[in-house]
Structure 1
């Protein structure tokens, strides 16, 4: 029998929250740097994140081959347990799951055993499979733990998924949310239309992963005609690699968006331009996102949260000129960084 979300967790997920996709802190020998990994998680917790996604894309997919997947999830559980007990809050716990069905089952079972609430399910291992094959795979994983769909953009290893897939995916009983991240508005509408046309349109929460369109996504109401009626859907939160840095300011912006009215929206959209410009530097959009992991690490290094830019894949490095782009963002948008907040708390997080 599959695990289910409690009513409290489902309500929190549907109401919307800011969820950073966490990086992996490594030593110079590419072992898990537990001290700095814990500091990262404490940073996100204290910055006001509503949940954490651990062992996901920003964590480096290669953690599995390096034998780090289980240790990272176990360390995450320890820190989340401690935070929940101390604060009286419950942060939403998401573990990344990928691979063919056999591997995905093992990862989902581990996540369930470690009391993660849901898994972010990547389909990048099924590049040429039919919708029917994909749905069979997703259904099997949903029998273990609640699942969050992941539309990983094709330029970084994902695949195209049409509205028919998202309709059938949303009809799976234990699907609780979808992270939309195709970086393409046409494909974003495909997801929303698929959910709207499903039998569970009110039960599946939509989260943006569109780092190039974060603010606009969160301000947009989608009105989708379905069988002579209009189904309205809102992207209620974000599950983002971009929110792995400058997290406190990201949470503040998210809360500002959630409480905004129509008079605020133009100002927020203008602020969103700066967020997108920052993301272009962090994620290295000018070079096809080749430096995306390294770019996030670079910002965390500047803040003192990471020691150096260690990645398992030796090709995951900063692109030429990327550091200068990050310098430019620091200069142009000082209001977006939370360096002072980090500096005031870093010693305590590194204890």
Structure 2
């Protein structure tokens, strides 16, 4: 599995917090021209409140329209949340719009037992291929042991897993589960660990099972971080993929892990427990002209004190990981 870059798609709003369809499509065009191989829509970065505002189907449709402009169709992943009835209904909407898989959030299942969660996953998998999602418990995710991931990976319609617990032990739980399910050749592994993006892509995870060694690889990323500076992300992913295939990692590439993590800390507002995470993505895109403002559906979601200055600082420190010139050269075309 070659893997690819899948940005978690933001939501373009006007000052009155209504959907800006023109800029929403421009974002999709930007990501695909930047080298992304897919789009994830209706996920956290798109803002979960789109559902209460009647925007779930419209924003999925806009991304699908942008994808249809491509000669080589990208992977389309739709976020699905809630209990089974809601998640199944969202999967049906996504399937009707031509999406390929649903990124299944399990946050609504906090307190449920493993059997209940697995049954939920099986019900949604009956509608659409599943992109599993291990969300970090610090922001509402459910702790999921290796036993769960073994059962999850054994579901025939599971095609990928986004590993995002921000925890190396929990990351290994996912890998262990996939290995023991015998699904390592069928289930693509994607990083969502924004604190270890490069390390995840470069590491050969050598695990032992039933007396034999096996090597698993995280082949791509489905990331909110990759919704900004996406051209730089695509170039970095290509370097990581080539290094992994050659089984030779240059030290300068390994050193990028720290630089990318530092940039992520500014975008995701780690200093304030992720309060400004979505606004941070919006601010980068606003500076580039892709968004008109940083408005979120929740008027209380905005940049934290000092976050704008941090964004300026990391962009100046690591210019090779940004893509301002690329955006400036293509912005008018994307907005047309």
* Unmatched runs of 5 consecutive residues or more in structure 1: 1-13
CA drift of 1:336 comes to 1.1
Q: Indicate whether 1:347 and 2:332 are aligned.
A: yes
Other structure's SS at 1:119 match? strand
Q: Which residue of 1 aligns with 2:201?
A: 218
Choose which of 11, 14, 17 in structure 1 pairs with 2:4. 17
Shift of 1:134: 0.4
Match of 1:125, SS? helix
Partners of 1:192 and 1:315 lie apart in 2 by 37
SS in 2 for 1:80: helix
Cα distance, 1:263 vs structure 2: 4.7
SS state at 2:170 partner: helix
Shift of 1:224: 1.6
- Counterpart residue number, 1:28: 15
Shift of 1:265: 3.1
After TM superposition, the structure 1 = structure 2 runs for residues 217-236 of structure 1, keeping only pairs within 5 Å, are: 217-236=200-219
Post-superposition CA distance 1:135-173 (Å, at most 9, x none): 000000000110000111112221211111100000000
Give, in angstroms, the shift of residue 348 of structure 1: 0.8
Aligned-residue RMSD, C-alpha? 1.0
User: How many pairs align?
Assistant: 334
| Structure 1 residues 323-342: aligned runs within 5 Å | 323-342=308-327
| The one of 195, 199, 203 aligned to 2:182 | 199
TM-score when scaled to structure 1?
0.93
Corresponding residue to 1:246 among 224, 229, 245: 229
The answer for the alignment partner of 1:139 in structure 2 is: 122
1:312 has 2:291 as partner? no
SS at structure 2 position matched to 1:243: helix
1:71 alignment partner in structure 2: 58
- Note the C-alpha offset of 1:255: 0.5
Q: What SS class does the counterpart of residue 93 from structure 1 fall into? A: strand
Q: Where does structure 2 lack aligned partners over 5 or more consecutive residues?
A: none
3-state DSSP of counterpart to 1:259: helix
Q: Secondary structure at the match of 2:207?
A: strand
- 1:155–1:288 Cα contact (<8 Å) kept: no
Quote the Cα distance in structure 1 between the aligned partners of 2:180 and 2:192. Answer: 21
TM-score with structure 2 setting the length? 0.97
Q: Which of 107, 120, 130 is residue 103 of structure 2 equivalent to?
A: 120
Q: Residues 43-83 of structure 1: CA distance to partner in whole angstroms, max 9, x if unpaired?
A: 00100111111111110111111111011011111111122
- Aligned ranges 1:44-55 → 2 under 5 Å: 44-55=31-42
